[in-house]
Amino acid sequence: MPPADAGGALVSSLPGVGPALGEALRKLGLERVQDLWFHLPLRYEDRTRLTPIGDLRIGETAQVDGVVETVERGFRFRPQLRVTIRDGSQATLTLRFFHFNRSQAEQFVPGTRFVCFGEVRYGQAGPEIVHPAYRRVVGDIVTLEDRLTPVYPTTEGLGQKRLAAVVQRALDRLPSDAELELVPAPLRESLHLASLREALLAVHRPEPGDDVAALALGRHPAQQRLAFEELLTHHLGLKRLRAQVRRHRAPALLGDGRLRVALRDGLPFALTQAQARVAAEIERDLGSASPMLRLVQGDVGSGKTVVAALAALAAVECGWQAALVAPTELLAEQHWRNFDAWMRPLGIEPVWLSGKVQGRAREKARASVAGGAPIVIGTHALIQEGVEFHRLGLAIIDEQHRFGVHQRLTLSEKGRDGDIVPHQLVLTATPIPRTLAMTAYADLDVSVIDELPPGRTPVQTVAISDARRGAVIERIRAACAEGRQAYWVCTLIEESEQLEAQAAEVAFAELTAALPELRIGLVHGRLKAKEKQAAMEAFKAGETRLLVATTVIEVGVDVPNASLMVIENAERLGLAQLHQLRGRVGRGRAASSCVLLYRNPLSQMARARLEVMRETGDGFRIAEKDLELRGPGELLGTRQTGQLQFRVADLARDAHLLPDVQRIGETLLREYPGLAQKLMARWIGAAARYVDA
């Protein structure tokens, strides 16, 4: 429990916070007054000025002041309310509502005046704003805000205004820096950090004359001050987690090497030098009684799977179990097939366990895991309730960027037996620049497989406008006529499996009509596991020549004869994801190519990204570029997991802070060990308190 100081007091001690509001705040993890201080704005809205309708630009967020001219209620596909307003610039703007109630609709009477705020879009009849924020102007005077309006992360049922008001009340209790600062003064001084109190006030109550652009970009000194502390907290948190795990013991998996040698002897290829080096690093860790916490980074196709299999066999040789967890069913299943093919000759049958294994099969799989089956492979289901291991010695987690730190811990916890915890091996195909890795994975040691197996041909990449779709289809026809195979990948920016599946169905119909001579397969996330499996197998066996797919094929799919890939809407994807996708071709000896289909108009950023893809096939270079151009959210795939979601920090923008974060972090851990806890209580708030409870 934090001390009962100003910040440690419960939010209910603030004026106006009753049980209902308290409950809504609790849902946001805001339980104490200091949680509100550190509940930082997501962004700001500029309601300090009005823009003449005639000057509105598409895509900009603006505030306008106009008189209602027409009101139309209609029903096209769904109910709609359309209101046009006109202002002194003699231009009109449409306000469009899809959700509205009667009293709302009745407010808009021709001749009445409104101030509206929102993002301007391109509409049928000129500019429009969908669901603007609006207020009626009574009398002649329009009052404007005199400072930027912070927009906070919130939850259903808690409006911005109410939340902002509570934050303001909490700020009235903000103490002096002497009480607020946690980073000891001597360390702070070496960094020239701004005052924390000033920084908090500045982000919650921007000054009227404040640098709007800097605030919008997160480069305001106040935001940088907070970003530093947040990154430091994150770093310390991971380091502390590591220290906690390392306090436990792990089984020393020395083994006699019998199974590992047999596996290597049975492979149709020799390990690359990089694979051998990383395998040796892992073996060294496994042989120690201190738990391994190691990340293996390796570009797509660098051969991480076999390295993981060798690690698993080290555990088996010593009579311990190894578990491999993958983010998707498809990927887990592919791992299982690989492991099964490699290990059956050694007398080992890996157990397959996923969410879709149900009923008796599930019971049987669970029983064999509990009974000590040497190798278990599966999806998340593995780490969820109900699966008990006999003695888990090694947990392997593939594609870490889709898992949270938390999930990693759960698997490790599963295998915990008193003081003994399993070793952890994390595989990721997302190459991450070093400074970033040191923060994002501060709890792990890192090994890099920086070499591809021999015989790979670079993938020739071109960017083609969707207007020339016909020519691209011809290209597929030609490639398939030569006996090659192709992928057509449908992507959507929204992480909606359903929409993506629809897009794939549409493309499938289009391509089936255009290429009647070809057998075409279809795989997307809405198909049953069996159907997906069948589609993949038919493609692998060469029965289908073209596979229309969604990004479910992103990771791990391996069909060497496929040498052409078309990616739709390539301009909307992050570089890391494009690189992953493209890694599905160029696996065999034939020259491979990748067509990035884009829609015009291309933004400058999109153009730059496609250019990077054409220029290089090196995952690390692409990662650096991605970081530069777009930021780490995409790179680390965190949008899906919520992992590494910072309140104010942005790893790409604030990368210049990382060396100091790392340096100060080491000193703090050494000389002020209690501090990490306090910083975490402040920044991670309720979540950290529960972890420690």
300 binds, among Mg ion, ligand ADP, none (CB under 5 to 8 A by kind): ligand ADP
Residue number, 233 or 428, with CB nearest to ligand ADP: 428
Question: Between residues 558 and 660, which has the closer beta carbon with respect to ligand ADP?
Answer: 558
**Nearest approach, Cβ of residue 452 and ligand ADP (Å):** 8
Nearer residue to Mg ion within complex by CB, 556 or 617: 556
Please give the Cα distance from 678 to 344 (Å, whole number).
51
Out of Mg ion, ligand ADP, none, which partner does residue 183 contact, by CB within 5 to 8 A per kind? none
Q: Applying CB under 6 A, which part among 270-278, 371-379, 522-530, 669-677 lies near ligand ADP?
A: 270-278
Q: State which residue, 306 or 535, has the beta carbon closest to ligand ADP.
A: 306
Buried b (16+ CB within 10 A) or exposed e, 208-245: eebeeeebeebebebbbbbbbbbbbbbbbbbbbbbeeb
Contact partner, 274, from Mg ion, ligand ADP, none, Cβ < 5-8 Å per class: none
Q: Which residue shows structure tokens 């390539």?
A: 570
- Return the number of other C-beta atoms located less than 10 Å from residue 140's C-beta: 6
Binder of Mg ion out of 127, 298, 556, 637 (CB under 5 A): 556
Say whether residue 271 binds ligand ADP (CB under 6 A).
Answer: yes
Q: Does residue 456 sit in helix, strand or coil?
A: coil
CB of 552 to Mg ion, least distance (A): 14
CA distance 276 to 281: 9
- CB closer to ligand ADP out of 224 and 305: 305
Please give the angle made by the CA atoms of 301, 304 and 305, to the nearest 5 degrees.
105
Beta carbon nearer to ligand ADP, 65 or 299: 299
Query: Binding partner of residue 690 among ligand ADP, Mg ion, none, CB under 5 to 8 Å per kind?
Result: none
Structure tokens given for 279: 């395998």
* Cβ closest to Mg ion, residue 218 vs residue 556: 556
Q: Tokens at residue 446, please? A: 């890192």
Name the token pair of 396. 């392997």
Which of ligand ADP, Mg ion, none interacts with 588 (beta carbon under 5 to 8 A by kind)?
A: none
Per-residue contact string for residues 240-269; x = within reach of ligand ADP by CB under 6 A: -----------------------------x
**Which residue lies nearer to Mg ion by CB, 302 or 561?**
302
Q: Which is nearer to ligand ADP, 442 or 553 (CB)?
A: 553
Taken in order 103, 106, 112, 114, the sign of the CA dihedral is positive
Q: Which does 558 bind (CB under 5 to 8 A by kind): Mg ion, ligand ADP, none?
A: ligand ADP
Distances from the Cα of 290 to the Cαs of 66, 393, 615, 618, 651, in angstroms? 69, 12, 43, 35, 31
The reply on whether position 617 binds Mg ion by CB under 5 A is no
Binding-site size, Mg ion (CB under 5 A): 1
Q: What is the per-residue DSSP string for 324-340?
A: EE-SSHHHHHHHHHHHH
Per-residue three-class SS string for 632-654: HHHHCCHHHHCCCCCCCCCCCCC
Select from ligand ADP, Mg ion, none the partner in contact with residue 396, using the beta carbon and a kind-dependent cut-off of 5 to 8 Å. Answer: none
- Residue of the chain from 84, 94, 224, 275 that contacts ligand ADP (CB under 6 A): 275
Rg (CA), the chain: 28
User: Considering only residues 293-352, where is the footprint of ligand ADP by CB under 6 A?
Assistant: 298, 300-306
Mark the segment that binds Mg ion (CB under 5 A) among 213-221, 353-361, 450-458, 554-562: 554-562
| 558 interacts with ligand ADP by CB under 6 A | yes
Residues 6+ apart with CB under 8 A from 518: 476, 477, 480, 511, 545, 546
- Beta carbon of residue 300, minimum distance to ligand ADP (angstroms, whole number): 5
Which residues lie closer than 8 Å to 369 by C-beta, 6 or more apart?
321, 351, 353, 376, 387, 388, 389, 390
Footprint (CB under 6 A) of ligand ADP, residues 452-511: 453
Q: Which helix (H) or strand (E) holds 64?
A: strand 61-76
Place of tokens 């947990």: 395
Joined together, the tokens standing for residue 666 give 């080491």
What burial letters (b/e) apply to 548-566, b meaning 16+ CB within 10 Å?
Answer: bbbbbbbbbbebebbbbbb
- Smallest distance, Å, CB 328 to ligand ADP? 13
**Cα separations in angstroms, 147 against 44, 142, 285, 662:** 10, 15, 56, 36
Residue 685 contacts which entry, ligand ADP, Mg ion, none (Cβ below 5-8 A, type-dependent): none
- 114 near 124, Cβ under 8 Å? no
The site partner of 271 among Mg ion, ligand ADP, none (C-beta below 5 to 8 Å per kind) is: ligand ADP
Residues 434-453 close enough to bind ligand ADP by CB under 6 A: 453
Q: For ligand ADP, give the closer residue by CB, 355 or 560.
A: 560
Give me the 497-536 binding string for Mg ion, x by CB under 5 A, dash otherwise.
----------------------------------------
Choose the binding region for Mg ion from 97-105, 116-124, 243-251, 555-563 (rule: CB under 5 A).
Answer: 555-563
Minimum distance, C-beta of residue 379 to ligand ADP, in the bound complex (Å):
16
Q: Is the peptide bond before 458 cis (omega within 30 degrees of 0)?
A: no
Q: Which residue is nearest to Mg ion (CB)?
A: 556
Q: Is 632 in the site for ligand ADP (CB under 6 A)?
A: no
Helices (H) and strands (E) in the chain, counts: 27, 21
Find the part of the chain contacting ligand ADP (CB under 6 A) among 90-98, 247-255, 271-279, 440-448: 271-279
* 566/368 Cα distance (integer angstroms): 43
CB-based contacts of 551, cutoff 8 Å, min separation 6: 489, 491, 500, 577, 581
Q: Which residues bind ligand ADP (CB under 6 A)?
A: 269, 271-272, 275, 298, 300-306, 429, 453, 556, 558
Q: Which residues bind Mg ion (CB under 5 A)?
A: 556
